[in-house]
Amino acid sequence: MSTHTESLAGKRYLDDHNPLWSEWRLIAATARTHLLRTFANPIMIMRAPLMPVLMLVTMRVVYSASGQRQIDGQDVVGYLAVGMLATLAWTAAVWGGGSALQSEIYAGTFGAVIVAPGRTTSVIVGNGIGGIIWGIPGLVVCLAIAVPLGAHVDIQHPVAAICALLALYMSTLAIGLGFGGLFILSRQANAMANFFQAPIYLLAGFYVPRSVLPGWLHAISDVIPMSYALDALRDTTLSGASFMAVWRPLLATIGTAALFMAAGVWSLRRMDNALRRRGSLDLL
Amino acid sequence: MREQVIEVRDLRRTFVKRKGWLRSGESVEAVRGISFSVPRGTVFGMLGPNGAGKTTTIKMLSTMLLPTSGTATVAGFDVARDELAVRRRLGVLFGGDKGLYNQLSGRENLRYFGRLYGMADAAIRERSARLLDLVHLTDRAEERVESYSRGMKQRLHIAKTLLHDPAVVILDEPTIGLDPASAIDVRRLIADLVPTHTVLLTTHDMHEADVLCDDIAIVDQGQIVASGHPADLKHSAEVDRQVAITLASQSPADRTKLVAHAEQLPGVTRVHYESGTDDLLTLRCADTAATLDRSLALLREIEVSVRSVEIREPSLEDAFLAATGREFEESDDTTPEQS
Amino acid sequence: MSARAYPVSAQLRLMVAAASAVGRTKIQTSGLFFYILVWMTVPVFNLFMVALIYRGNNSLQDYAIVGGAGMALLFGMQFNAGEILDNERQRGTLGNLFLAPVPRYAWLAGFQLFAFAEAVSAAAITVAGGAIAFGVHLAINPLAFVLTLLLFVACMWGFSMIIGSIGVAVRDANQLSNLVFTPVALLAGTMLPVALMPLWLRIPARGLPFGYGIQALVGASTRNASVAALWRDLLPLAGFAVLLPVVGIIAFDRVERLARRRGVLDLV
C-alpha cells in the first residue's frame, strides 16, 4: 500500500488487529440488534412463548383424533416436542437469518449494510443467532408443557443429546445461510421463506415421520440436514441413544449442512456481484 | 500539486429497462463517460437536475454498483476490484427517511453501524458521544429513531457516516427534504468537514453547491457539461453583471439626459431604460459594486429619486444554461429498472 | 360529500378498483409464479401433513381435505385483512385512504373482495391437491354448500375487520394474524371435527363461528347434508354472520378514531 493511501486509511478507529474477532463482534452486535428490534414489538413478545405451545397442542390433538399413541416407536408428545424444537430453530434460521437481508431492505438499511466493510455473511449469521436466542423462551415453555402432556423423555447420554441439539441448530443456520443469497438473488426473499416452510416441515419429519412419505420424496428429504439432526435428537432424547448409535445421522447432518453453507457463501458472493452488476442492490 | 483522493476516468453505466415478461427492454446509459478528480481536503460537488446521473455515479464510487466501463479509484483503491478497501475508507450518506433502524435509539443505531465498520467498543462510545454532540442529538440519543423528525434523522445519518472517521465522505443530496433551518445546520456541518476530510456531494440546489463546494461538476444527461470553481463557472457563463435601479418616472427629456450620462459611466457596457409607473434603469457592467456607487452618485447629483436597487450576478443556473442550452429544470426522475 | 351522498354505483366501482389495485400490486410484487407458490400452496402442504397423520382412515382424510379448504379460506381472508393494511402503511398510502372523501368501507370491501377471490382460489387448489394425493369422496348438496359458504365468508369478513383494526392500532397486523391464526385454525375444526376435540377445546370452539362453518361445509360437501340437516351448525353461524360484521365495523371505526387522536395512522 502506498504512502498516500496509508495516510488516508483512517485507521484510528478501525480495529485491524484481529479481523476474525472483528467479524465475531459484528455477529454478536447483529444478534443484539435483532433482539432489540424484535423486542420492540409487543406482538412478537407475546408470540415467542405462545406459538410453540399452540402448535404443539394443535398437533397433539390431531394425533389424538387419529388414534395413534406412538410415532415411529416414540411417544407422540415427545416426538412432537422435538419437532417443535426444530420449528423454533427453523424460524430463527430462515426468518431470522435467511430473511435477514430482506428485513434490511424493508428497513431501508440494506445499502448501508452492503457498503460497510463488515461481511454480509456475518450479518446473516448474527440475525440467525438472534433468532435462536429469541426462541429460547418458547423452547423452555414448550418443554415445560410437553412433560405434563405425556412426553416420555429418556436421556441416557446427555453429551450425545447436546451434540444432536447443536447439530439441529447448525443445520438450520446452514439452511438459512444457504437460502440467504438465493432469496436475495431471486428478489423474492419473503415469498421463498414463506414457501419453503411447510414443505420442509413435511419432508424433514418435523411432525410426520419420514417413513410415511412416498418413496420418491425420500430423495429430497435425504438432502435436508435437519432430517438427520431430528432423527439423532429424537433418538438421544426419547430413546436413550448413545453417541455411537447416532454418529451416522450426525455425520450426515454435518455433510449436508456443509453443502448448504458452501452454497450460501457462494450465492452471497454471486449475489453481491450480480446485484452490483445489475444495479438492483437497492431496488429489491 | 494536491493529491487526488477520488479519480474517475471515463466512467460509464448502462441499464437495461425491464419490459414485462419478455424483458426485452431498451438500454439506458445513465452515466456516459464521466471523468473528474477530487483533491484531498476539498469539497467537490456534482450539480445537476434529477435523472442527470449523479446518484448513479455515487453508487459506483460507493461500490454499490459496478461500472459498465471506465475506472474509478477512492483513496487509491479501485471501486470494482478492491471494494473492501474502498468501503473501509469511505463514509456514505444516502439519507432520507430510511436507512436507520426505527425501533432502535439513535445511540443504538450508531453502535450497530460502528460494529459494521469493525470499530472497537471504546471507539464507538467515544465517537458516538462526540458526533451526537456535533449534530445536536445528545438529548434525543436514547429515543427511538421512529420519533425523530426528518431533520433529526438526516443529522443522525451524518453522525453515522462520520462514525468511523473516514478519510473520504460521499453525501448524496444531504439536505433534500429538509426545512431551511435544518438545511443550514447540515451545510454548516458539511463545511466543517474540510480539510480533515475529502467530501464529494451531490445536489440539485444551486445555492448549496455555490456556498459549499471548492469545485463543481455540472452534470446533465449522464455527462459533465462544465466543471471548475463556482466563480469560474459563473464567469464562464458570459452573462453580464447588471445593476437595476427603479426610479421615479422621468420626463422624456430627462430620460434622454439620464441615459446619456449613464452611458458615460466607467465600466458600463450597455444601458437599458424602461418607462412605466416607475422607470427601470438597467446597467450592464463588469463590476457591480463600482457601477452601483457611480450610478447612485449620478442620480443624487441630478436629483432623481431612487425607489429600489437590485444587483444581478451570474449564477450557476446561468452556467448550466450556457453549458446545456436549456433551463435548469427537473428532468424525468427515471431510475430505470434493471434486468 | 357525505358517505350517504356517495352513490352506490360509485362505491361499487371503487370497490372493484380497490380490489384490482391490491391484487395487481400483490401479484406484481412477488411475480405470478411466486405468488401462486406462496399464497396458493401453503394450505396444500398443511393439508398433506394432516392427511398423512390420518392415513388409513378415509373418513378423517375426507374431513381433512374439506377442512383444509376451510383453512385456506381462513388463511386467505384473515391474513389479507391485516397484510393489506400493513402494506398500505409501509407504502405511506394508508393516510391517503383514510383522508379520501369516500366511505372507507368501499375501499375496505375492495380489499376483502380480493381476499375472498384469493381465498376461494386457494381453497379450490387445496381440495384438488388433496383429491389427487389421497382421493376424496364428495357428495355435495349445492344449496347447503352455497349457503354455508356465504355465511362463513360473512363471519370471516367481520372477523378480519376486527383483526385488521387491531392491526392498525398496534401497527403490525401481519404478526398479529400469525399469532391468531394457529388457535383459530384449530378451534375452527379445520384439522379435526369439533366433536373429537377434548372438552377444554370444544367449549371455546363452540364460542367461535368457524367451527360451525367448517362442520357445515364438511356435511354439505361430503354427506350431501341438506340445510335442514345442518340447522344446528347453520343457526349459530347465521347469528355470527350478523354479529361479527357489525362488531368489525364498530371496531374499525373506534380504532381509526383512536389512531387519529394518537397520531399514529401513518407511523411506520
Is pLDDT larger for residue C96 or for residue B291?
B291
Q: Which of residues 247-266 of B touch A (CB under 8 A)?
A: none
Angstrom CA distances, B337 to A100, B14, B23, stand at 23, 11, 10
Question: For residue B102, which residues of chain C lie inside 8 Å, CB to CB?
Answer: 268
pTM of the model: 0.78
Question: For residue A195, which residues of chain C lie inside 8 Å, CB to CB?
Answer: 34, 37-38, 41-42
Which among A106, A111, A136, A187 is positioned nearest to A31, based on CA atoms? A136
Chains B & C: contacts with CB separation below 8 Å: 3
A270 min Cα distance to partner chain B (Å)? 13
Distance of CA B240 to the CA centre of its chain: 23
Are A10 and B165 in contact (CB < 8 Å)?
Answer: yes
Q: Which of residues 226-255 of A touch C (CB under 8 A)?
A: none
pLDDT in tens, B33-50: 999 999 999 999 999 888
Are C182 and A54 in contact (CB < 8 Å)?
Answer: yes
Per the rule left: phi > 0, alpha: psi between -120 and 50, beta: everything else, B173 is left
> Is the Cβ–Cβ distance between B200 and B42 less than 8 Å?
no
First to last CA, chain B: 43
Highest mean pLDDT among A75-84, B239-248, C172-181: A75-84
Are C60 and A62 in contact (CB < 8 Å)?
Answer: no
What is the spatial distance between Cα B110 and Cα A208, in angstroms, rounded to a whole number? 46
- Mean pLDDT computed over C40-67: 91
pLDDT in tens, C101-147: 777 788 888 888 999 999 999 999 999 999 999 988 889 999 999 99
Which among A157, A165, A173, A155 is positioned nearest to A232, based on CA atoms? A165
Whether C5 has a pLDDT exceeding 80, the answer reads: no
State whether residue B168 sits within 8 Å of chain A by CB.
yes
Which letter does DSSP use for residue B334 in this model? Answer: -
Question: For residue C268, which residues of chain B lie inside 8 Å, CB to CB?
Answer: 102, 146
Q: Coil, strand or helix: which one is C228?
A: coil
Question: For residue B59, which residues of chain A lie inside 8 Å, CB to CB?
Answer: 279, 281-282
Please report the pLDDT score of residue C97 as a whole number.
78
pLDDT in tens, C150-170: 999 899 888 888 887 887 777
> Is the Cβ–Cβ distance between C221 and C148 less than 8 Å?
no
Percentage of the residues of chain A whose pLDDT score is greater than 90: 40
Please report the pLDDT score of residue C172 as a whole number.
75
Question: For residue B99, which residues of chain A lie inside 8 Å, CB to CB?
Answer: 108-109, 111-112
pLDDT in tens, A93-132: 776 766 777 778 777 888 888 888 888 888 888 988 898 8
Question: For residue A279, which residues of chain B lie inside 8 Å, CB to CB?
Answer: 13, 15, 56, 59, 65, 338
Could you tell me which residues are beta bridge partners of residue B71? Answer: B9
Are B112 and A115 in contact (CB < 8 Å)?
Answer: no
Question: For residue A41, which residues of chain B lie inside 8 Å, CB to CB?
Answer: 103
Q: Which of residues 238-267 of C touch B (CB under 8 A)?
A: 267
Are A279 and B97 in contact (CB < 8 Å)?
Answer: no
pLDDT in tens, A213-271: 989 999 999 999 999 999 999 999 999 999 999 999 999 999 999 998 888 888 877 77
> Is the Cβ–Cβ distance between B105 and B45 less than 8 Å?
no
ipTM of this complex: 0.87
Please report the pLDDT score of residue B329 as a whole number.
61
Among A55-64, B74-83, C258-267, name the one with the lowest average pLDDT.
C258-267
User: Across C75-160, where does the E strand assignment appear?
Assistant: none
Which letter does DSSP use for residue B118 in this model? Answer: T
- Report the chain C residue with the minimal C-alpha distance to residue A58: C186
Q: What residues of C are in the A interface, CB distance below 8 Å? A: 30-31, 34-35, 37-38, 41-42, 45-46, 48-50, 52-55, 57, 60, 90, 170, 172, 175-176, 178-179, 182-183, 185-186, 191-193, 196-198, 201
pLDDT in tens, B81-128: 998 889 889 999 986 677 888 889 999 999 999 988 888 889 999 999
Which among B198, B200, B128 is positioned nearest to B163, based on CA atoms? B128
Chains touching chain B, criterion 3+ CB pairs below 8 Å: A, C
Please report the pLDDT score of residue A4 as a whole number.
35
The overall average pLDDT reported for chain A is: 84
Choose among B84, B99, B118: nearest Cβ to A109: B99
> Is the Cβ–Cβ distance between B107 and B132 less than 8 Å?
yes
Please report the pLDDT score of residue B339 as a whole number.
31
Choose among A19, A40, A273: nearest Cβ to B103: A40
Chains touching chain A, criterion 3+ CB pairs below 8 Å: B, C
